[in-house]
Amino acid sequence: MNNKKSIGFIGLGIMGKPMAKNILKAGYKLAVFNRTKSKMAELTAAGAYSCKNYKEVADKAEIIITMLPNSPEVKEVINRLLLHLKSGTIIIDMSSIAPLVSREIAVRLQEKSVEFLDAPVSGGEPGAVAGTLAIMVGGEEAVFKTCLPVLQCVGKNVVHMGPVGSGGFTKLVNQIIVALNIAAVGEAFSLAQKAGLDVQRVYEAIRGGLAGSRVLDAKAPLIFSRRFQPGFKLKLHRKDLNNALQTSGDLHVELPSTIAVQKMIDSLCENGKAELDHSAIVQYFEQLSQVEIKAG
């Protein structure tokens, strides 16, 4: 007998579709909804139920996961779901949005006796496909424990951070560190390339020391081979840093390095790079130094 809770999944983009696939593979009954209907076809063929509207998702699911671009989209979807949600339903928003918006949403859902977790992820498309995402969760601990088996279908490192909003705050910390790391890689390897060094050998020389990082290991091979197809789009990292800067203003925290990198990302996005992988931050430094970071 299958005692697993029924799951609804809304938002089948680069990250959402493989996450939903992993939930389905784990044996959960899955109902999916996406505005672009064609994105549901692959999951339907694998055994998911394709919903025609938000009401169907609410009717069929005990736990509903949302994976959407930003705060406005999440608020819109929650507004539509609110008309149909049953008492006792749990909403898990795995999008990367402003944490203070997550708290607003939680209050509204609580009025209908609906529980809420904010659970943004890190790991990009490769992590979503492999089911190895890092997941940072905010919400009631009892609700977290109820949802943990589902979250473990899509993530390898699932950590309860505290009350609602804590997941979002943690994701902002993550995104600041990742963006600044990529910027450091771009700045440093522009120097290496201009100095006539073999950038692949520089990478091999430094990766085991203090300069080594997961970011360096994940992004350097892509940069050196000039592969900027999106695993995580630059425009989405731009959105995340906008949320970080908005939140820093609310909390009266100074983020000068984040402001500097955000200006670089703004410039790249305004010059046609928005759809590239966020490793394209390095192209800002390449343009400044008139160099291309490339192996060989």
CATH number at residue 58: 3.40.50.720
Is residue 115 in a domain? yes
Q: At residue 245, what are phi and psi to the nearest 5 degrees?
A: -70, -35
Is residue 42 in a domain? yes
Neighbours of 111 (CB within 10 A): 8
- Domain count across the chain: 2
Do 212 and 131 share a domain, yes or no? no
CATH value at residue 214? 1.10.1040.10
Q: At residue 225, what are phi and psi to the nearest 5 degrees?
A: -100, 5
| Global pTM exceeds 0.75 | yes
Q: What is the pLDDT along the chain (296 residues), one digit of tens a residue?
A: 467 999 999 999 999 999 999 999 999 999 999 988 899 999 999 999 999 999 999 999 999 999 999 999 999 999 999 999 999 999 999 999 999 999 999 999 999 999 999 999 999 899 999 999 999 999 999 999 999 999 999 999 999 999 999 999 999 999 999 999 999 999 999 999 999 999 999 999 999 999 999 999 999 999 999 999 998 899 999 999 999 999 999 999 999 999 999 999 999 999 999 999 999 999 999 999 999 999 98
Residue that terminates a domain, selected from 122, 144, 163: 163
Do 52 and 105 share a domain, yes or no? yes
Do 62 and 144 share a domain, yes or no? yes
* Catalytic site includes residue 5: no
Do 52 and 122 share a domain, yes or no? yes
Is residue 295 in a domain? no
Domain that holds residue 215: 169-289
Burial class (CB in 10 A: 0-12, 13-18, 19+), 117: buried
Is residue 72 in a domain? yes
Do 150 and 45 share a domain, yes or no? yes
Rounded distance between C-alpha atoms, residue 86 and residue 95, angstroms: 22
Phi-psi bin for 211: left (phi > 0), alpha (psi -120 to 50), beta?
Answer: alpha
Residue from 171, 219, 239, 273 carrying the catalytic annotation: 171
Do 108 and 134 share a domain, yes or no? yes
Residue that terminates a domain, selected from 119, 138, 163: 163
Contact 77, 54 (CB under 8 A): yes
pLDDT at 17: 97
